[in-house]
């Protein structure tokens, strides 16, 4: 279960790295969620970990290396991984170089196009509070994340 949390964290972190110039900081942060979902679907530890800052720390004392272990374990235990996320709130700091977002993510072994499809599937739901920052290489990365199980209604 802890490993699924780590994957969900990385799934969201993947959504946090962005490259396009014309996007606003908020759009860049939102675009990272899609990248995180893609990293999970590909089971690509490197892609997912690229979205986690070297300075990452969470309230449970995990650092970037601990998150890597959680994700690797999840990938080993699950043949197929699909993540669907909903950003519930996103607040940018005035400088536009850091943000806090709240998102709810569902992790399942089958493709899901819409949260309404989750009712018939076995899925783990998590609510994340994530801090991200624009780092020196112009990439948004997760610097902190805390998560807890989410109720089904939080996804809709």
More confident residue, 150 or 112: 150
Output the pLDDT for position 102: 96
How many structural domains is the chain composed of? 1
Residue-wise pLDDT for 58-92, tens only, equals: 999 999 999 999 989 988 888 888 888 889 999 99
Which pTM does this prediction carry?
0.80
Residue-wise pLDDT for 90-100, tens only, equals: 999 999 999 99
For residue 28, pLDDT beyond 80 = yes
Share of the chain above pLDDT 70, in %: 81
On whether the CB atoms of residues 118 and 112 are closer than 8 A, the answer is yes
Instruction: Give the domain extent around 133.
Output: 2-154
Output the pLDDT for position 81: 87
Mean pLDDT, rounded, of the chain? 84
Three-state SS string over 76-98 comes to: HHCCCCEEEEEEEEEEECCCCCE
Residue-wise pLDDT for 113-151, tens only, equals: 777 666 666 778 899 999 999 999 999 999 999 999 998
User: What CATH number is given to the structural domain containing 117?
Assistant: 3.10.450.50
On whether the CB atoms of residues 29 and 90 are closer than 8 A, the answer is yes
């Amino acid at each position: 279960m802890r490993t699924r949390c780590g994957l969900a964290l990385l799934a969201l972190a993947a959504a946090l790295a962005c490259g396009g110039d014309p996007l606003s900081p908020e759009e860049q942060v939102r675009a990272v969620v899609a990248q995180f979902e893609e990293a999970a679907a590909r089971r690509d530890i490197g892609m997912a970990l690229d979205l986690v800052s070297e300075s990452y720390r969470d309230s449970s004392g995990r650092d970037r290396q601990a998150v890597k272990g959680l994700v690797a374990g999840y990938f080993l235990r699950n043949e197929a991984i699909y993540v669907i996320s909903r950003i519930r709130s996103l607040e940018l700091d005035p400088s536009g170089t850091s943000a806090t977002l709240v998102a709810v993510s569902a992790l399942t072994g089958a493709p899901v196009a819409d949260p309404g499809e989750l009712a018939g599937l076995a899925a783990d739901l998590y609510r994340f509070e994530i801090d991200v920052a624009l780092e020196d290489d112009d990439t948004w990365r997760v610097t902190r994340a805390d998560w807890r199980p989410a109720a089904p209604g939080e996804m809709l």
